[in-house]
Structure 1
């Protein structure tokens, strides 16, 4: 891809086989970011014992299909939950790639006002500095403890595994949940791509066979046979 804010989705723009960004036990990158409320806050200045940080955009079917499960996490005692608004995963004629920070903020506001997102939404800068630091995947999720350390991560958010990780952390236990890749709900896929407009669905389905092979088969097999790194509330970095 020629730029961070690509005009057309392509599987060539992502490294699906490598772990990029902070791993479990690493220091989580911190950034001053603007929220959709117009405030500037540091990403790691959270009030709970843990921060659940999910990457997302309104044109990402995976993110959109997980929101109804992820949003209630922010209502659990001891948990802060936020979305980092990143580049459009599948831009189309109606929701195009961002050409400025204002474009990005407008899309993030649509997530809040039209889609009803209740979590804090941080808007990454135009160049995607925070997103790149966290690995650049469209729907990754990280859990960060009060020490500022990553205690759980997944390149693709599996809400069930994320919930299990949160429950373990709140109970003072180590995280052992494996985030197997689960595809988005088909109805949400068509709704999201249809809203993005012409070109979005074509680019998505063009890359679909590769995405199935890389994520549902290869990635899940790696998770099955490998032991994940374990984080906990006391992880230091």
Structure 2
């Protein structure tokens, strides 16, 4: 476990973009007992839908905030599936929304995601130490699709909602997944608003690391993915 999981200032050294640990594609998803923003204590994998679509996010993550207006309608489009957000550490903390110093800090931010930002999906609050987040690879806006056998049939280190939607469509139609999730930058207006809400320090840290992030994700990661054959797991996958 990282000693500095809840950082005060974003740095590219907080993440390993070349080697993403956590649950493997086709492997068994990790289960945790967590509190939701509604005050319920629930198992992460105790979902009623045919599949669980689990997205990592925080209020200060421009990518997550950029995806929400696409991901939330998917919950209505695929009404027989379960959708949830795992609230993790603040991606780009600032003076208004600083890094968490306690579980209550994290719970407060998670509730504000629902109340102030209007998130409609179930929001699970990770532990202060980020145990669930680290088990799922520690990336700020990863997404996982998990079947009823508890197997990860689709995962992307960075959520691309168009690819996630294609994967869901293939699953519900009984076909193996062929979707490849290329990295897509945050919507500029959403990114600016997100960092403004986070407060002083958020944007400065983000822009300092931007050249590295662009090279690592837009170019290097997408280039590798272009030549990588999809694993093609299905809803019937057993792990």
TM value normalised by structure 2: 0.98
Corresponding position of 2:133: 131
Task: Output one character per residue of 1:64-87: Cα deviation in whole Å (capped at 9) or x when no partner.
Answer: 000010012222232100000000
Q: What CA distance in whole angstroms lies between the structure 2 residues aligned with 1:60 and 1:114?
A: 15
Does the Cα contact within 8 Å between 1:73 and 1:79 map onto a contact in 2?
no
Residue number among 113, 116, 120 corresponding to 1:114 in the alignment: 116
Moved more, 223-232 or 32-41: 223-232
SS in 1 for 2:212: helix
CA shift for structure 1 position 63: 0.2
SS of 1:181 mapped into structure 2: coil
Secondary structure of 1:116's partner?
coil
| 1:193 alignment partner in structure 2 | 195
Shift of residue 18, structure 1, vs aligned partner: 1.3
- 1:56-205 matched pairs, under 5 angstroms: 56-75=57-76, 76-205=78-207
Report the CA distance between 1:231 and its aligned residue. 1.3
Residue aligning to 1:34 = 35
The equivalent of 1:23 in structure 2 is 24
The runs of at least 4 consecutive aligned structure 1 residues that moved more than 4 Å come to none
Structure 1 distance, partners of 2:178, 2:19, is: 21
The CA distance in 1 between the partners of 2:74 and 2:145, in whole Å, is 12
Contact in 2 for aligned 1:24/1:230 (Cα 8 Å):
no
Q: CA RMSD in A?
A: 0.9
Structure 1 unaligned blocks of 5 or more:
none
For the Cα contact (< 8 Å) 2:177–2:230, is it kept in 1?
no
Give the 3-state SS of the residue equivalent to 1:184 in structure 2. Answer: coil
Q: In 2, Cα distance between the equivalents of 1:231 and 1:51?
A: 15
Q: Deviations over 1:44-76 (max 9, x none)?
A: 000001000000000000000000100122222
In 1, Cα distance between equivalents of 2:234 and 2:124:
25
8 Å contact kept, 1:16–1:214: yes
For the 8 Å contact 1:57–1:63, the answer to whether it is kept is yes
Query: What's the offset of the Cα at 1:2?
Result: 5.0
Deviation at residue 24 of structure 1 after TM alignment? 1.5
- Counterpart contact for 1:28–1:148, Cα < 8 Å: yes
What secondary structure does 2:84 align onto? strand
